[in-house]
Structure 1
Amino acid sequence: MSREPVIESIFDLSTITGKTVSGDGKLLSYVLGQGYKEFKKPQENKIILKNIDSGSEESISESGHQLSLPKFSMDDKHLSYISGTDDSWNLHIRNLMEKAEMELKCPGAPIDYRWGKDNEIIMLTSPITKDKIEKAEDGHFFEETDEKNRIFKLRLTEGFSEIKDTPHIWEFDYKSGKIYAVSSDSPREGSWFENYIAEISMNGLWRKIYRPSNGQVALPSLSNDSSRLSFVESIWSDRGVTTGDLMFLETTSGKVTNISKDAEKSYSGPRWDENGNLLAICQEKEYFMIERFSSGNSEILWKKRGSVGPGMAPDFVYTSGKIFIEFSDQSNPSEIFVVNIGERNDKQITTHNEKMKEIKAYEWKSVSWKSVDGLEINGFLRNPGKNMPSLVIVHGGPTGSVKETFMDRYSYLLPEGYSIFMPNFRGSTGRGRKFAGLNFGDMGGMDLHDVITGVQFLIKEGYSDRNKIAITGGSYGGFMTQWAITQTDIFRSAISLFGISDWISFHGTTNIPEWDEIQYDQKALEFDKFLKFSPLRYVKNIKTPLLIMHGESDPCVPVSQSFQFYRALKENGKDVRLLLFPREGHGFTEKEHILQSMKETRNFLEKTMK
């Protein structure tokens, strides 16, 4: 008999990341961990080495250390991985035949690395902050002391040598002595929004080979013969949340082709097969697919409703006609599946979350409605019923989307009698680049109408009690929550997580000041849209009780955004509370903080939705 999800259930869910497969398709490795950390405890995890044919597994762990980035050498003789703490990182290289292991200290915090055909390794690292020695005269000039990521070449007999004088590198691919990297002129986080593709030689000579006219690039992947580079391009709101148009560049001529132009799908994780065909994950509304592009044609190799992980930028690994993905849907928690391209079928090959199937699965009903301008908007309604109290969750980004999965941080509310409504408003991914750009220059405009018309649809269809509807969201969803309650009184309760309240002061204090000007298509100090869409200006309109939660160390949406909004509401006699979490950045990661935020959400809803 199934049991209901409770608050603590989310902590029993294992995370599966960092998939890699040997070239012969016999071995699979990945990182098995947890979706949280604990105060003053190292965030330990383990690497799994799995024999695909026999199903046998070996677990690799190291007490007090985080493990990451398992990779097989190109000759399949070695498995490498990273272990470390916040201030020291090591590269482990295990000889799979002789069972011997080499350990090398990394020259920074590893971001990623690639094996070469001669068993050399190219490694990208970020500065280790504790390398900066504190001194009595430790004043520093703002934005003038940021350090670039550094890239190194490792020969096992010679050690690491730095490839100097490169641009700042965010991510890269490497083959045949050339590095192709997503780069920018500055190491500042906001500089990523002005990125480009750079070709870098081993002696450090480099050149820009492609810069998008409108948007950003991500996920570079070289073909086996290095003649073509695939990547993804779109307008994005967050580094690492990257699905969009599928592009490829001819490395000799520099010619760039958008091979998914005008498709109403969002692409991610491009990979090349041994025949020079391009494979990619794509999302089309509630469905995920694997698509193959060959000689100007494309075909769908696999299609399923659910969610392919990781959630922000879905990907897969490929070898010898087989694709390995992490997949979840409303009835099944995340596991790794192998897709056999020739037979067009899939098979689950891990069982790390099998015990989670004891928890009752709730329906994700796909719904659609027309917004005020006639545009069709889609979303999900969990636990649909008649005239139920409903919680509207506005996703972050805005260039993200809600995807069907087995469990999230709101699942515990379902057995308590709530339905949960999650709209994928204009500006969301999953419907192509054009749809993702529909709120360009208009954040808080028509996308808010998409949400409100969705609520009106639920009321009209009898799903929701019009007097018991709450709204919540984090980051851009936090902004939309605060913005919504200044524009309508349809919501009985509101819970905002690390949201923007004043676009002008946000621009001056965030670590991504390029993004808001790009997304609003306006300079901040022209004031027009930055004032027009600032919830702070409209606090007198608010009738809805509001709970605000924010991490005190958030560099993206500084906590001052919540201080301002809280103070303005208090001084205008509004019903507001502010819950602060120390040590948290943009999102809550510590177990006790996650637990408290979930409990306070439930308590606030019980109090305000009576």
Structure 2
Amino acid sequence: MKIGVEDFYRIRFISDLEPGKDDIYFVITESVKKRNDYESRIWSLKDLNEFTSGPRDSSPKISPDGKYMSFLRKIENKVSIMRIPLKGGESVQIAQRKDVSSLKWSKKGNKLFFISNQEEKSDDVKIIKRYPFYFNGKGFIYNKRPTLFSINLDGRIKKITDSPYIVQDYDVSINDEVAAILSIDGQKLYWNNLYIIRGRKMEKLPMEGSFSDVEFSPDGRYIAFTYSDNSSSIFQHRRLYIYDIYKKSAKCLTCDMDISIGNSINSDSRMGMGKHIKWLNDSLYFLANEGGSSSIFSVDIKKFRHKKILSGEISIDFFHPSSDGIYMIAQRINEPQEIYRDNEKLTSFNKYFTGLQKPRNFRFRASDGEEVEGWALLNEKRDSPSILEIHGGPKTSYGNAFMFEFYLLFSSGYNVIFMNPRGSDGYSEKFALQIKGHYGERDYLDIMEGLDYCMKNFNLDKGKLGVTGGSYGGFMTNWIIGHNDMFKAAVTQRSISNQISFFGTSDIGPEFNGDQIGGAPFDNIENYWEKSPLKYAGNVKTPLLIIHSDEDYRCPIEQAYQLFTALKFFNREVEMAIFPGENHDLSRSGKPNHRVKRLELIRDWFIDHLNPKD
């Protein structure tokens, strides 16, 4: 089966898995080409029908008594908090605000909690005092503060947190206690704290580092969370902890496992992901990467024993453990998302893509003896051109998740090679942290040695190679073409070209580069320049297409401008495509028509320079 670029509009994105008493609810999002937008509606798994009318409904939450659903409805530039009876009836608006996220019921069912920006008044001149002052996907945030609120069902709103706190995540106990992950002005970007809020009293847990995924136990005694002390790197493996409120003590449940909590497998065919930890009675279930796959484990908090519950060649985006199995929204390497119970597929929303060829999994020994994993999507004609895809992060991974982009290139006549070099997630912590301070060294060697392995073992043509990647993958694309000329074409996306200016313009610059490059450019400028692909622009011979978004605040567009200007200065073949109104996540959540245009640009650049045969 071959797919074309227009088949992107056929993908149905599944998200927001929410259990009810006798049903499971979820959200289906579809691209609407004519309006260049998305429509989303809440569905019932039991009936396999739409439960809400849309056109922009999300975040279904079932009341504790099982009688009502609350959800969010986006109407133009505002978000409404809605409530609807599950047994039939019209939805009612409880409140409307500019933005609402993280909607939850109180355990008593008499109110809802949510996060919304508390916005300071400002005129057209931006007077900035806070850092970071902008953030990717959120725009300028210098005058906005994510704040926790509660709202009664009659619409009365109460503020739970206030300045200087910024809410990142929270949960509510059976006693209406709030566990909130908060940061404050001036705190380092990858650092936050966990607080227990009882009325006006706030108790901070005596742990410093980075918290996420906070969840109260059903009886309210324990708080589960993932945590890293960031002592070695901001990319340390996250561990699972519980905090005993009665004993005021924390215990690590996974410190004996060299595994990172969560799912970092790349996909361009999902809309968001759920929390990575869930309670079921006295057991905690958690999601973790193992190589290129997701696995679900459980921990009995009385015996402190963990066991693997579910694994396989799958990427799990949302999950819910129950007495009759684990319900999941998941995808496979050659199949977009569907809903599963354990290993049984329950839906066929993306049946159009059934039957796509499965890539070949391979492992090779790098020159230093480390095993590296990868995949190759191979055409029948082995003399077809090959494209090397490089993931971002760097601590993310490729694996058993669907990449529409890869199948489009494959259907256009290319072999597609992708792998998890040093720095990737899903393997040991040492494997992930080995490139810290050493970008362009062992990671570069892994990629080139993996490519050489594919050339030899799959009989691929060394004279017909292209390379592309985004974010860190864009950095590596830039690095590769500045250090060899074996590739006939390259596409760099949302990339880093200059580590010095990245430090001062990226929303994560000082923290990210301080960790990954080392120190600051003010006292380490030689190393910053050494690790900048821009330094090697004069070596580039490979024709390059630069793709960037003008509202990318993660890898700001000045990175693209500098690279383009340098290559023009050296009279190299280079083009630049700028996507207006898009950010760092163009390939994952940009406007549908922009996403399609991006895919066309990548495909056509390689066609023009590699000329695959029909």
C-alpha separation between the residues in 2 aligned to 1:254 and 1:192? Answer: 27
Asked if 1:505 is matched to 2:514, the reply is no
- Supply the AA of the counterpart residue of 1:591: P
Provide the residue aligned with 2:107 in structure 1.
117
Asked if 1:163 is matched to 2:155, the reply is no
C-alpha separation between the residues in 2 aligned to 1:432 and 1:384? Answer: 32
| Deviation of 1:578 (Å) | 0.7
Provide the residue aligned with 2:418 in structure 1.
422
Provide the residue aligned with 2:290 in structure 1.
284
Asked if 1:456 is matched to 2:452, the reply is yes
Is the CA contact (8 Å cut-off) linking 1:108 and 1:125 kept in structure 2?
no
| Deviation of 1:472 (Å) | 0.4
C-alpha separation between the residues in 2 aligned to 1:88 and 1:439? Answer: 43
Following superposition of structure 1 onto structure 2, how do residues 195-594 of structure 1 map, counting pairs within 5 Å? 195-203=192-200, 205-212=202-209, 216-234=210-228, 244-261=238-255, 263-268=257-262, 269-294=275-300, 295-309=303-317, 315-339=318-342, 346-357=343-354, 360-383=355-378, 386-513=382-509, 514-526=511-523, 527-588=525-586, 589-594=590-595
C-alpha separation between the residues in 2 aligned to 1:243 and 1:121? Answer: 36
C-alpha separation between the residues in 1 aligned to 2:158 and 2:113? Answer: 10
| Deviation of 1:42 (Å) | 5.3
| Deviation of 1:502 (Å) | 0.3
C-alpha separation between the residues in 2 aligned to 1:491 and 1:232? Answer: 41
- Supply the AA of the counterpart residue of 2:544: L
Normalized against structure 2, the TM-score is what? 0.87
Q: Name whichever of 224-233 and 4-13 sits farther off.
A: 224-233
Provide the residue aligned with 2:272 in structure 1.
none
Normalized against structure 1, the TM-score is what? 0.88
| Unmatched runs of 5 consecutive residues or more in structure 1 | 310-314, 340-345
Q: Name whichever of 216-225 and 493-502 sits farther off.
A: 216-225
Counterparts in 2 of 1:364 and 1:438: CA distance versus 1, 3 Å: same
| Deviation of 1:93 (Å) | 1.2
Asked if 1:62 is matched to 2:54, the reply is yes
SS where residue 199 of structure 1 aligns?
Answer: strand
| Deviation of 1:337 (Å) | 0.7
Provide the residue aligned with 1:183 in structure 2.
182
Provide the residue aligned with 2:139 in structure 1.
none
Q: Deviations over 1:443-484 (max 9, x none)?
A: 332111111111111122244211111110111111111011
Counterparts in 2 of 1:298 and 1:226: CA distance versus 1, 3 Å: same
Is the CA contact (8 Å cut-off) linking 1:491 and 1:544 kept in structure 2?
yes
Counterparts in 2 of 1:192 and 1:170: CA distance versus 1, 3 Å: farther
Is the CA contact (8 Å cut-off) linking 2:36 and 2:591 kept in structure 1?
no
- Supply the AA of the counterpart residue of 2:220: S
Provide the residue aligned with 1:174 in structure 2.
172
Counterparts in 2 of 1:445 and 1:230: CA distance versus 1, 3 Å: farther
Which of 185, 189, 194 is the equivalent residue of 2:191? 194
Q: Name whichever of 548-557 and 88-97 sits farther off.
A: 88-97
| Unmatched runs of 5 consecutive residues or more in structure 2 | 132-141, 263-274
Counterparts in 2 of 1:252 and 1:364: CA distance versus 1, 3 Å: farther
C-alpha separation between the residues in 1 aligned to 2:229 and 2:473? Answer: 18
Provide the residue aligned with 1:140 in structure 2.
127
Q: Deviations over 1:157-187 (max 9, x none)?
A: 462111143621111111122222222113x
| Deviation of 1:427 (Å) | 1.6
| Deviation of 1:331 (Å) | 4.5
Counterparts in 2 of 1:86 and 1:482: CA distance versus 1, 3 Å: farther
Asked if 1:46 is matched to 2:41, the reply is yes
Is the CA contact (8 Å cut-off) linking 1:19 and 1:29 kept in structure 2?
yes
Identical-pair percentage: 23
- Supply the AA of the counterpart residue of 2:476: M
| Deviation of 1:80 (Å) | 0.8
Is the CA contact (8 Å cut-off) linking 2:208 and 2:229 kept in structure 1?
no
C-alpha separation between the residues in 2 aligned to 1:20 and 1:242? Answer: 30
SS where residue 100 of structure 2 aligns?
Answer: strand
Q: Name whichever of 577-586 and 348-357 sits farther off.
A: 348-357
C-alpha separation between the residues in 1 aligned to 2:240 and 2:585? Answer: 29
- Supply the AA of the counterpart residue of 2:371: E
C-alpha separation between the residues in 2 aligned to 1:235 and 1:32? Answer: 37
C-alpha separation between the residues in 1 aligned to 2:555 and 2:54? Answer: 35
SS where residue 429 of structure 1 aligns?
Answer: coil
SS where residue 516 of structure 1 aligns?
Answer: helix
- Supply the AA of the counterpart residue of 1:423: M
Asked if 1:71 is matched to 2:61, the reply is yes
- Supply the AA of the counterpart residue of 1:362: Q
C-alpha separation between the residues in 1 aligned to 2:228 and 2:457? Answer: 35
SS where residue 463 of structure 2 aligns?
Answer: strand
Is the CA contact (8 Å cut-off) linking 1:230 and 1:248 kept in structure 2?
yes
Is the CA contact (8 Å cut-off) linking 1:198 and 1:210 kept in structure 2?
no
Is the CA contact (8 Å cut-off) linking 2:482 and 2:539 kept in structure 1?
yes
* Equivalences, count: 576
C-alpha separation between the residues in 2 aligned to 1:164 and 1:217? Answer: 18
C-alpha separation between the residues in 1 aligned to 2:84 and 2:386? Answer: 52
Root-mean-square deviation over aligned CA pairs: 2.7
